């Protein structure tokens, strides 16, 4: 469970579906996005609070703000895996959202991004993710180091389950990191970088005898 502000915690324990809570939950939702001032604190991803906001929009449709609906899904895409919630957050929340909303950008791009992540097409994912131009909140999220690093941690974990070792250049490309390997070197799931090879720590997947040690492509 994320560490949430006391007023939000009280709201969720009490009459959570009171329409007076909508503005508080909207402000809390926006606080989960790193702003241009990177030194400003970022609230932890909070799927329970965000789900409550979506349900309130269902109960009181005249108060719905589509930009916030889309932001809820964008946060699920970016932080779901990092928070060990997995892509099920995106799918479960999507069931609460009107089909008309899903037809307007950037929702179709978010859906494509989810498909690309699920199919491990990480280079194409970054291209789609960076192409988002609609919805200022989602654009801010796509550009934030906080959000991008959450995605990178998730992708790096997927790579560690697939490979025991692979080329550093390949991993950098999958993480959209250019030539900066600091994040890889500092990761707890990376044993070491040896020349142009990333050696991942042993896990139940990458030590299986049928795993193939290869230099590129998933």
Specify the pLDDT at position 88. Answer: 74
Q: What integer pLDDT is reported at residue 87 of this predicted model?
A: 60
Q: What's the chain's length in residues?
A: 218
- Please give the pLDDT value at position 86: 47
**Percentage with pLDDT > 70 across the chain:** 88
Condensed to tens digits (0 to 9), the pLDDT of residues 145-202 reads 989 999 999 999 999 999 999 999 999 999 999 999 999 999 999 999 999 999 999 9
Q: What is the DSSP string of 156-211?
A: HHHHHHH-SEEEHHHHHHHTT-TT--HHHHT-TTEEEEETTEEEEPP-TTTTSTT-
* CA distance linking residue 36 with residue 20, whole number of Å: 29
Backbone dihedral region of 176: left (phi > 0), alpha (psi from -120 to 50 degrees) or beta?
Answer: left
For residue 208, name the pLDDT band (cuts at 50, 70, 90). confident
**Cβ–Cβ < 8 Å for 175, 167:** no
10-25 per-residue burial string, b: 16 or more CB within 10 A, e: under 16: ebbeeebeeeebbeeb
CB 160 within 8 A of CB 218: no
Average pLDDT over residues 24-30: 96
State residue 76 phi and psi, 5-degree precision.
Answer: -65, -40
Residue 128 confidence class, pLDDT cut points 50, 70, 90: very high
Whether 210 shows a pLDDT value over 70: the answer reads no
Which tens digit of pLDDT belongs to each residue from 35-92?
665 556 678 899 999 999 999 999 999 999 999 999 999 999 999 866 554 467 888 9
pLDDT > 90: what percent of the chain? Answer: 79
Q: How confident is the model at residue 4 (pLDDT cuts 50, 70, 90)?
A: confident
């Amino acid at each position: 469970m994320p560490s949430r502000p006391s007023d939000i915690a009280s709201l969720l324990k009490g009459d959570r579906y009171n329409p007076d809570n909508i503005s508080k939950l909207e402000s809390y939702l926006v606080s989960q996005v790193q702003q241009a001032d990177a030194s400003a604190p970022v609230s932890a991803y909070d799927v329970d609070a965000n789900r409550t906001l979506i349900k309130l929009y269902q109960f009181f449709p005249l108060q719905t703000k589509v930009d916030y609906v889309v932001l809820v899904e964008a946060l699920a895409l970016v932080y779901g895996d990092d928070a060990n919630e997995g892509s099920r957050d995106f799918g479960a929340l999507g069931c609460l959202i009107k089909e008309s909303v899903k037809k307007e950008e950037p929702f179709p791009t978010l859906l494509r991004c989810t498909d690309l992540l699920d199919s491990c097409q990480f280079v194409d994912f970054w291209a789609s993710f960076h192409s988002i131009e609609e919805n200022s909140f989602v654009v801010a999220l796509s550009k934030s180091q906080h959000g991008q690093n959450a995605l990178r941690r998730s992708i790096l974990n997927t790579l560690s389950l697939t490979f025991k070792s692979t080329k550093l250049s390949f991993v950098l490309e999958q993480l959209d990191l250019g030539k900066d390997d600091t994040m890889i070197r500092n990761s707890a799931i990376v044993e070491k970088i040896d020349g142009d090879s990333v050696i991942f720590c042993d896990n139940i997947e990458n030590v299986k005898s049928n795993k193939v040690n290869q230099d590129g492509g998933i």
